[in-house]
Amino acid sequence: MNATRLRLILLISALSLLVAVMPVLAQTPDENTLIIGQSVDVGALDPASVNSRAEANIFFHVFGTLFEIGDDGVLRPYLATEYAISEDGKEWTFTLNEGLTCHDGEALTAEDVAYSFERAADPANAFTGNTAGFALPAIGYQGMRVDGDLQVTVLTDRYQTPNLRLALISEVYIHCKDSYSALSLEEAGQNPIGSGPYRFVEWVPDDHITLEAVEGYTLRPTNFQTQIWRVIPEASTRVAELIAGNVDVIANVPPDQIEAVNASGTAQVQAVAGTRRIYVGFQFGENFADAPGYEALQKTEVRVALQYAIDVPTICQTLLGTECERASSMVNPPNNNPNLEPYPYDPARAEELLDAAGYPRGENGVRFETVLMGPRGRYLNDANVVQAIGQYLSDIGVQTTVDIRDWADYRQLISPKEVGPMFFLGTGGGTWDALYDMADLSGPDAGTNYTNWNNQEWFTRWDSLADIRDLDQERTVINEMLEIFYNDPPWLLLYFQPDFYGVSNRLNWSARRDEWIVIYNATLK
Amino acid sequence: MFVEGQGEHLAPLIWMRRFMGQYIVRRLLQSIIVIFGVTLLSFLTLHLAGDPTYFYVSERASEEEINETRIKLGFDKPLPVQYLNFLGNLARGDLGMSIRSRKPAIELVMERLPATLELTFFAMLISIVVAIPIGIIAATRRGTAADGGIMLMAMFGQSMPSFWLGIMLIIFVGLQLKWLPISGHVAVIQPFMEGNIAEGFGNLPEAIRFLIMPGVTIGLFSLSRNARLVRSSMLEVLSQDYVVTARSKGLRERVIIMRHAFRNALIPIVTMLGLEFGFLLSGVVVTETVFSWPGVGRLVTNAITQRDIPVVQASVVVFAVLFIIINLLVDIIYAQLDPRIRLR
């Protein structure tokens, strides 16, 4: 065999290998499999430690809750059939469905529900995140009482409006005592034993989680036999996988790629007005007393004037890729005050009000200077929106310096309230109760009162809510409070963040407003 | 012991045994300082960026809840105490528990290391296997269109940001041409490590399909640089007297190039390999994100953004140890290739 022939054979072999390698991968999910692409992986699979929306989405399919928050904000029975509230409003007794079991076959009774709450609250377990760090403290959790096989009572230290409390209780994932007490915390974080419509099959870290429908589960539908939750961190890659038909649903489609998805013929983008309130906070904390613009921003007239300076619909259209309506309060519709109209974009009116407030333009055209802080990489196109707001304010003579930080750094300034004199932020809201959204301002010193706003009219009414049992009367007070907020705004009201979901054309599924991906009810077209 | 004149060829081996041991011990001692340095630096950087507690509380948590979490996670202790605790545990081989997943941090890193090594070695393979022949072609055909074309491509390869290249490959090769999968991973090393030899081999063809795009994305820069290095190194060697002598003796050009010139031109390339490995390892951070590759790069990126300090520290230690080992191996190979070089 001469050298030329040998070379030819080698070349043909190499090409054959290449051809073998090249064929298209048939990754398209079959009719029994649903694939969802999320940007982040779970940290652990422990139902008591929910640290991100990505985790909550998966847990919701593996674990049942006592009630379920519907996409319309209505709370519906789930593992529990009903509840009763004690006269003082501090004890909530739930009645469970009969014949419930966990995925390992263990019967799920009142004792297991009590255990689920107690385990999450146990300081020895040192859980962080939503259940232990927010939901249980927010209801004033005191403990649990087992009243029978199917009756269990949540003990709290105060009355709370029913919808709000029920929604918070519905964020606790129920699991079985015998199964979990036999596991170490590390084991519990790797092998969840659920009580929901799908059982855990496999977790390949940073790659995917596979769930399988529980046979005979009657409380919720299981229209697909298998759910695969893939981790695809890069937005462009998620979009490419969706267009290629390799995934059925993705979250956070970048606005600049919406057109590409809609033109692909394989998927469409669903845009929903999310529940996250996006706003600019005015800082009242005295640690900012020397900051530029602080003094001016203490005046109600100035803060009202600035509301007229921002063209929110244009920001939405140009920077967020969708139409949106400006927020008229901190509360999500339909729970907001219907009598309040969003501030219109009227820069001339803003200038008039600033003149009247004692801040006319100087010779250089500047009324006063200030700083607007904002994050990069947390909210939809956040850095660009912050830049645009800074420019709108500068246009009416409020010379605004924009200070943008990476989210990881910015996050650490928010809770200690070290952001100001103006700062851009988005805080999660809900569809089920106005008070959930208003709880940001539950007290002058509340951890989430990032502005340190201290309007006594607001806080007196907030305190009065604890004694009001009549829901109509409660609604009246809420409307009054929202009017106070509107007229003495601690926030420069912007919009409810639009969320973009890419959905395969083969699927019947509607995205929710509250950032949850609840997909057990999806069907094939 | 060997009889004079009969065992002289063993002298280098004896030398190697004597000095190599000392050399390795010295390098390992130096590596302790390196590990101390990198862990201190990463520890300080993460803490100087602010209190990590806020990453482990709900955005609605009260000040009291934040304080409780700070104590739970041990971030209430002074920084020197936290670092000394870490060092004490490190000396016992304990790199701590991940705050997020509550698993040993080293376990998380080792779980993902095979995927990263697959990608790194594949990229290295591409960068060597392709760079050497095209570098030789460019050198032996200096001044021709082939040389110009290769050098132009090498320049492009070095100029393209890997993030952009990755996205372009996804769009054109994955989405439009549908030749290769867009993202994901099929394990090869992991099954071998678990003793599933058949599964490891079975996965190989599929794994290669998943490896090509991320491998090219990481490896193209190195490939281009290596091609230029091979070319310049070959050009230098080809002008040496011994090559002229070989030519004058009438040896065939292929023998001159492969036997006389290439072996000597290889020395600077081998030197680069150790550094190359470190470069490719650092490159995986971006590429793993673009291609949803479940490796250490993504683990460490997430750990940094979530301030999961034990995981960052464990990753830093593992990367540093890998880098040290690879460079040690390169030094040893280097000495083997060129007898004039002694390890001291």
Mean pLDDT of chain B: 84
Average pLDDT over residues B63-87: 84
Average pLDDT over residues A503-515: 94
Q: In the structure, what pLDDT confidence band is assigned to residue A235 with cuts at 50, 70 and 90?
A: very high
Average pLDDT over residues A259-282: 95
Q: What is the dihedral of CA A441, A447, A451, A453, to 10 degrees?
A: 50
Q: Cα–Cα distance between B140 and B24 in angstroms, integer? A: 39
Of A227, A320, A221, A224, residue with least CA distance to A274: A320
**Are A244 and B182 within 8 A, CB to CB?**
yes
pLDDT, residue B333, reads: 76
**Are A230 and B100 within 8 A, CB to CB?**
no
Q: Hey, what are A119's tokens?
A: 């385990």
Q: What is the dihedral of CA B95, B96, B99, B101, to 10 degrees?
A: 80
Residue A281 β-bridge partners: A423, A491
Place of tokens 């029913």: A162
Q: Is B292 left (phi over 0), alpha (psi -120 to 50) or beta?
A: left
Of A340, A320, A322, A321, residue with least CA distance to A330: A340
CB B319 within 8 A of CB B281: yes
- Amino acid at site B31: S
Contacts of B333 (CB under 8 A, 6+ apart): B270
Kindly report, residue by residue over B131-145, the tens digit of the pLDDT. 988 998 999 899 899
Diameter of chain A by CA atoms? 99
**Are B58 and A246 within 8 A, CB to CB?**
no
Q: In the structure, what pLDDT confidence band is assigned to residue A10 with cuts at 50, 70 and 90?
A: low
Tell me A64's DSSP state. Answer: B
Output the CA angle B191-B196-B199, nearest 5 degrees.
75
Kindly report, residue by residue over B2-55, the tens digit of the pLDDT. 444 455 555 656 666 666 777 778 877 877 888 888 888 888 887 777 778 877
Any A CB within 8 A of B63 CB:
yes
Residue A466 has pLDDT above 60, yes or no: yes
**Are A237 and B291 within 8 A, CB to CB?**
yes
Any A CB within 8 A of B55 CB:
yes
**Are B72 and A44 within 8 A, CB to CB?**
no
Task: Sort out which chain A residues have CB atoms less than 8 A from B54's CB and list them.
Answer: 411-412, 414-415
Burial class (CB in 10 A: 0-12, 13-18, 19+), A1: exposed
- Residue among B55, B108, B170 minimizing CB distance to A237: B170
Residue of B nearest to A413 (CA): B50
Please give the helix or strand (H or E) that residue B142 lies within, else none: none
Place of tokens 């081999």: B201
Please give the helix or strand (H or E) that residue A294 lies within, else none: helix A294-297
Pinpoint the alpha helices (H) of A396-441.
407-414, 434-438
Task: Sort out which chain B residues have CB atoms less than 8 A from A51's CB and list them.
Answer: 56, 100
pLDDT, residue A4, reads: 55
Residue of B nearest to A203 (CA): B294
**Are B179 and A22 within 8 A, CB to CB?**
yes
The C-alpha R_g of chain B, in whole angstroms, comes to 25
Q: Cα–Cα distance between B208 and B285 in angstroms, integer? A: 20
Place of tokens 């090498």: B154
Supply the pTM of this predicted model.
0.83
- Residue among A207, A231, A447 minimizing CB distance to B60: A447
Residue A419 has pLDDT above 80, yes or no: yes
Q: What's the gap in Å between the CA of B168 and the closest CA on chain A?
A: 10
Task: Give the torsion sign (CA, A17, A23, A28, A29).
Answer: negative
Mean pLDDT of chain A: 91
Check residues A96 and B36 and name the one with the higher pLDDT.
A96
Q: Cα–Cα distance between A115 and A181 in angstroms, integer? A: 9
Residue A520 has pLDDT above 50, yes or no: yes
Task: Sort out which chain B residues have CB atoms less than 8 A from A128's CB and list them.
Answer: 56-57, 69, 72-73, 99
Q: Hey, what are A231's tokens?
A: 């981790």
pLDDT, residue A135, reads: 87
The yes/no answer to whether this complex scores an ipTM above 0.95 is no
Of B280, B334, B310, B307, residue with least CA distance to B49: B307
pLDDT, residue A294, reads: 97
Q: In the structure, what pLDDT confidence band is assigned to residue A414 with cuts at 50, 70 and 90?
A: confident
Q: Cα–Cα distance between A471 and A459 in angstroms, integer? A: 19
Q: What distances in angstroms separate CA B186 from CA A27, A204, B118, B179, one per listed residue? A: 13, 11, 10, 16
Considering chain A, what percentage of its residues have pLDDT values greater than 70? Answer: 95
Out of A414-418, B15-19, B56-60, the most confident range is A414-418
Of A269, A30, A67, residue with least CA distance to A169: A67
- Residue among A43, A128, A244 minimizing CB distance to B175: A244
Kindly report, residue by residue over B222-249, the tens digit of the pLDDT. 899 989 988 998 898 888 888 888 888 8
**Are A25 and B305 within 8 A, CB to CB?**
no
Q: Cα–Cα distance between A497 and A276 in angstroms, integer? A: 6
Residues constituting chain B: 344
Q: What's the gap in Å between the CA of A336 and the closest CA on chain B?
A: 20
Q: Cα–Cα distance between B71 and A464 in angstroms, integer? A: 34
Residue of B nearest to A243 (CA): B175
Residue A275 has pLDDT above 70, yes or no: yes
Average pLDDT over residues B112-124: 93
Chain B (203-232) residues lying within 8 Å, Cβ to Cβ, of chain A: 205, 208-209, 212
**Are B175 and A243 within 8 A, CB to CB?**
yes
Diameter of chain B by CA atoms? 87
pLDDT, residue A6, reads: 52
Q: Return phi, psi of residue B104, to 5°.
A: -60, 130
- In three-state secondary structure terms, A507 is strand
Peptide bond into A334 cis (omega under 30): yes
Any A CB within 8 A of B62 CB:
yes
Taking residue B9's Cβ as centre, other Cβ atoms within 10 Å add up to: 8
Q: What distances in angstroms separate CA A240 from CA A26, A243, A248, A431, B317, one per listed residue? A: 15, 5, 12, 32, 35
pLDDT, residue B261, reads: 82
CB A279 within 8 A of CB A255: no
Q: Hey, what are B96's tokens?
A: 């701590």
Considering chain A, what percentage of its residues have pLDDT values greater than 90? Answer: 76
Tell me A86's DSSP state. Answer: -
CB B108 within 8 A of CB B315: no
Q: What distances in angstroms separate CA A401 from CA A367, A369, A391, A406, one per listed residue? A: 14, 8, 9, 17
Q: Cα–Cα distance between B183 and B290 in angstroms, integer? A: 8
Kindly report, residue by residue over A322-380, the tens digit of the pLDDT. 988 899 999 999 999 999 999 999 999 999 999 999 999 999 999 999 999 999 888 99
CB A385 within 8 A of CB A319: yes
Tell me A209's DSSP state. Answer: E
Taking residue B239's Cβ as centre, other Cβ atoms within 10 Å add up to: 10
Out of A92-101, A177-186, B6-15, B328-337, the most confident range is A92-101
Average pLDDT over residues B288-309: 89
